[in-house]
Amino acid sequence: MNKVILIGAVASLLAACVSVPPRSEQVEQARVEIATLSQDPLAQQAAGRDLEAARTSLQQAEVAQQRGSSPVVIDHLGYLALRHAQAGELRVAEARARQAVARGQEDRNNILLAEREREAQNAQLQAQSAQAQAQSAQAAAQNAQAQAEIAKNQALAAQSKLADTQQQLADLQAKKTDRGMVLTLGDVLFDTGAATLKPGADLVLGRLATFLNSNPQMKVIIEGHTDSRGSDEYNEALSERRAQAVATALTERGVSADSFRTMGRGKAYPVASNDTPEGRQQNRRVEIVFSDASGQFAQGGT
């Protein structure tokens, strides 16, 4: 009985030894490589055939192990599976390298495109700046032209004003002298020895007041003169009173007092001989000395 039990145990042990597949380093390594390759996202796309061949060879090796085939056969199948897996890994690496090159090329193209866009933007900005400068220059030229036209018009207006002023002075019968334009009011405007204006003076004084009111920038000096009869003191006082009488008449007609000043010249500046009645009559006078358009008198005006 004991012998039967022993024989059964030995048989069971031998059966167990026969059921354990022989271990193969090639198969184990192939299994690891195939698992690694299977997890790679690019495996199916880049190395699908290699992965499938590796799995087939691995399956054949595992079947051979189960059947207890020769280790040489098992190792050969494992080697084939390993080589297919390694080939797949190489294809995946190549695909990944191509992707990297493609990305690098794409990045380079993007950089070049961005650079071209920047150059285009810079060119556009330069063109806009040049256009703005051209427009500014055109505006400046137009402004200069407008200013020149204004200056021309002002010059023409000034010339017209000057001509009009000269005509008005001519109408007043003013004459050009080294002291400027001078209007002479004769003795017929005053009674002899008096400084009271006669009614006949209204016309000429009215025209003179109108002229001065129309040309407020101009100034006048009102000078009184007498003949040689009488003392110097008497004639100087009389000439001053006559000049002041004309100034008062102008003020009454709206002329500003800032537009004139009076001077009594007495008998010091005769324009004719005092030996005849006619000459003395010419010397008894009031002279209106006009400034220029800016209010300045000639050198000899005073």
Average pLDDT (238-260) is 94
Radius of gyration of the chain (CA): 64
Together in a domain, 171 and 283? yes
Together in a domain, 172 and 282? yes
pLDDT value for 96: 93
Write out pLDDT tens, residues 175-192.
999 988 999 987 667 777
Residue 81 — pLDDT band, cuts 50, 70, 90? very high
Average pLDDT (152-167) is 75
Does a structural domain hold residue 274?
A: yes
Together in a domain, 185 and 79? no
Structural domain ending residue among the three candidates 99, 125, 151: 125
Together in a domain, 171 and 115? no
CATH of the domain at 168: 3.30.1330.60
Does a structural domain hold residue 113?
A: yes
Together in a domain, 207 and 121? no
Structural domain ending residue among the three candidates 72, 100, 125: 125
Dist CA 289 CA 222 (whole Å):
7
Together in a domain, 183 and 237? yes
Together in a domain, 235 and 117? no
Q: What are 177's strand-pairing partners?
A: 180
Say if CB 297 and CB 291 are below 8 A apart: yes
Residue 168 — pLDDT band, cuts 50, 70, 90? confident
Say if CB 190 and CB 294 are below 8 A apart: no
pLDDT value for 13: 42
Does a structural domain hold residue 39?
A: yes
Does a structural domain hold residue 142?
A: no
Q: Is 69 left (phi over 0), alpha (psi -120 to 50) or beta?
A: beta
Average pLDDT (27-37) is 95
Does a structural domain hold residue 222?
A: yes
Burial class (CB in 10 A: 0-12, 13-18, 19+), 288: buried
Say if residue 295's pLDDT is above 70: yes
Structural domain ending residue among the three candidates 73, 108, 125: 125
Q: What is the mean pLDDT of the chain?
A: 87
Average pLDDT (121-140) is 90
Does a structural domain hold residue 143?
A: no
Together in a domain, 172 and 268? yes
For the chain, strand residue ranges (E) read 175-177, 180-186, 220-225, 260-266, 285-290
pLDDT value for 159: 74
Say if residue 163's pLDDT is above 90: no
Concatenated DSSP letters of 251-282: HHTT--GGGEEEEEEETSS-SS-TTSHHHHHH
Q: Is 230 left (phi over 0), alpha (psi -120 to 50) or beta?
A: left
Say if CB 24 and CB 63 are below 8 A apart: no
Average pLDDT (273-294) is 91
Say if CB 198 and CB 191 are below 8 A apart: yes
Does a structural domain hold residue 240?
A: yes
Together in a domain, 188 and 266? yes
Average pLDDT (260-276) is 94
Say if CB 243 and CB 264 are below 8 A apart: yes
pLDDT value for 158: 66
> Which residue range is the domain that position 33 belongs to?
20-125
Pairing of strands 260-266, 220-225: parallel
Q: How many domains does the chain have?
A: 2
Quick one: tokens of 34? 């195939």
pLDDT value for 20: 58
Together in a domain, 96 and 211? no
Residue 247 — pLDDT band, cuts 50, 70, 90? very high
pLDDT value for 3: 43
Element (H, E) at 194: none
Say if residue 241's pLDDT is above 60: yes
pLDDT value for 98: 93
Closest CA to 226 of 211, 237, 210: 237
Dist CA 85 CA 38 (whole Å):
9
pLDDT value for 187: 64
Write out pLDDT tens, residues 48-59.
999 999 999 999
Query: What is the separation of C-alpha 59 from the centre of its chain, rounded to a whole number of angstroms?
Result: 82
Average pLDDT (81-91) is 95
| Percent with pLDDT over 70 in the chain | 90
Does a structural domain hold residue 14?
A: no
Residues 6 or more apart whose Cβ sits within 8 Å of residue 57:
30, 77, 78, 80, 81, 84
How many other CB atoms are there within 10 angstroms of residue 23's CB atom?
A: 10
Say if CB 227 and CB 280 are below 8 A apart: yes
Together in a domain, 113 and 213? no
Together in a domain, 186 and 250? yes
